[in-house]
Amino acid sequence: MVDSIPVKSLPRDTGWIEVICGSMFSGKTEELIRRLRRAQIARQRVAIFKPEIDNRYSEDRIVSHSGVSLPSIRVRDAGQILDNIGDVDVVGIDEVQFFGLDLVDVCEQLANEGHRVIIAGLDQDYLGKPFEPMPQLLAVAEYITKTLAICMVCGNPANRTQRVTRNDARVLVGAADSYEARCRNCFTTNLEEVTKAG
Ligand code: ZN
**pLDDT, tens digit, 9 for 90 and up, residues 1-39:** 455 555 555 667 899 999 999 999 999 999 999 999 999
Report the mean per-residue pLDDT for the chain.
Answer: 88
Q: What's the Rg (C-alpha) of the chain?
A: 17
Strands 116-122 and 16-22: parallel
| CA gap 44, 28 in Å, rounded | 21
| CA gap 56, 28 in Å, rounded | 16
Asked if residue 155 belongs to a domain, the reply is no
Asked if residue 161 belongs to a domain, the reply is no
Kindly give the distance from the C-alpha atom of residue 186 to the centroid of ligand 1, in angstroms, as a whole number.
Answer: 4
CATH of the domain at 15: 3.40.50.300
Kindly give the distance from the C-alpha atom of residue 194 to the centroid of ligand 1, in angstroms, as a whole number.
Answer: 13
Confidence at residue 27, expressed as pLDDT on a 0 to 100 scale = 95
Count up the domains in the chain and report the number.
1
- Report the candidate in 115, 73, 86, 80 with the shortest Cα–Cα distance to residue 100: 80
Q: Which amino acid is at 82?
A: L
Are 147 and 27 in contact by the 8 Å Cβ rule? The answer is: yes
Residue 95 annotated as catalytic: yes
Q: What is the pLDDT of residues 62-107, one digit of tens each?
A: 887 777 788 899 999 999 999 999 899 999 999 999 999 999 999 9
Kindly give the distance from the C-alpha atom of residue 97 to the centroid of ligand 1, in angstroms, as a whole number.
Answer: 24
Asked if residue 142 belongs to a domain, the reply is yes
Kindly give the distance from the C-alpha atom of residue 121 to the centroid of ligand 1, in angstroms, as a whole number.
Answer: 21
Confidence at residue 4, expressed as pLDDT on a 0 to 100 scale = 57
Task: Specify the DSSP element, H or E, that contains 33.
Answer: helix 28-41
Kindly give the distance from the C-alpha atom of residue 21 to the centroid of ligand 1, in angstroms, as a whole number.
Answer: 19
**Residues in a beta bridge with 157:** 150
Asked if residue 56 belongs to a domain, the reply is yes
Are 182 and 152 in contact by the 8 Å Cβ rule? The answer is: yes
Report every protein residue that has its C-beta within 5 angstroms of ion ligand 1. Answer: 151, 153-154, 156, 183, 186
Asked if residue 73 belongs to a domain, the reply is yes
Q: What are phi and psi of 193, to 5 degrees?
A: -70, -25
Catalytic residue (one of 18, 30, 31, 95): 95
CA distance from start to end of the chain: 45
